[in-house]
Amino acid sequence: MKIKALKRLICGLSAFVLCFALLSFKSQASTKTDTVVNKGFKLKTVVIDPGHGGDHEGTGRRFSHGASGAYSHERDVTLAIAFKLQKAIEKDLSGIKVVLTRSTDEDVDWQKRADIANQNKGDVFISLHCNALPDKYIRERVGTKHHKPVYKTISVPDHSGRGVLMLVYSFKRQKEAENAVKNTQIEEEAQDDPTFDPNDPVNAILISEYKRKFRQKSINLANLINNELVDVDGRRSGGVIEESILVLCHTAMPAVLVETGFIDNPQDEDYLNSQKGQDEIVASIVRALQKYKDQVEQVAQQ
* pLDDT one-digit tens code per residue, 146-162: 888 878 888 888 899 99
pLDDT at residue 16 tops 70: no
| 272-288 pLDDT per residue, tens | 999 999 999 999 999 99
From the CB of residue 202, how many other CB atoms can be counted at a distance below 10 Å?
17
Residue 209: per-residue pLDDT: 65
Residue 146: per-residue pLDDT: 84
Report the pLDDT averaged over residues 5-23.
43
Report the pLDDT averaged over residues 21-47.
57
Which comes out higher in pLDDT, residue 247 or 266? 266
* pLDDT interval class at 184 (50, 70, 90): low
Rounded (10°) angle between helices 266-273 and 275-301: 70
Whether the CB-CB separation of 241 and 165 falls below 8 Å is answered with: yes
pLDDT at residue 33 tops 70: no
| 159-175 pLDDT per residue, tens | 999 999 999 987 655 55
Please report how many Cα atoms fall inside a 13 Å half-sphere around the Cα of residue 97, on the Cβ side. Answer: 9
Whether the CB-CB separation of 171 and 219 falls below 8 Å is answered with: no
Report the pLDDT averaged over residues 92-120.
94
pTM of the full structure: 0.77
CA dihedral 135, 81, 279, 216 (to 10 degrees): 80
Backbone angle region of 239, left / alpha / beta, with phi > 0 → left and psi within -120 to 50 → alpha: left
Judging by DSSP bridges, how do beta strands 164-169 and 237-243 pair with one another? parallel
Residue 194: per-residue pLDDT: 47
Report the pLDDT averaged over residues 192-199.
48
Whether the CB-CB separation of 264 and 77 falls below 8 Å is answered with: no
Which comes out higher in pLDDT, residue 222 or 157? 222
Query: To the nearest whole number, what is the mean pLDDT of the chain?
Result: 80
Backbone angle region of 295, left / alpha / beta, with phi > 0 → left and psi within -120 to 50 → alpha: alpha
Question: Hey, which bits of 22-147 come out as E strands?
Answer: 45-50, 97-100, 124-131, 136-145
Give CA–CA dist 153/156, Å, rounded. Answer: 10
Residue 97: per-residue pLDDT: 97
**∠ at Cα 111 (295, 268), nearest 5°?**
65
Report the pLDDT averaged over residues 23-45.
55
Residue 252: per-residue pLDDT: 87
Give CA–CA dist 58/178, Å, rounded. Answer: 37
Residue 149: per-residue pLDDT: 86
pLDDT at residue 206 tops 70: no
Write the secondary structure of 189-218 as one string of H (helix), E (strand) and C (coil): HHHHCCCCCCCCCHHHHHHHHHHHHHHHHH
114-118, 190-194, 204-208, 296-300: segment of lowest average pLDDT: 190-194
Residue 196: per-residue pLDDT: 44
pLDDT at residue 52 tops 70: yes
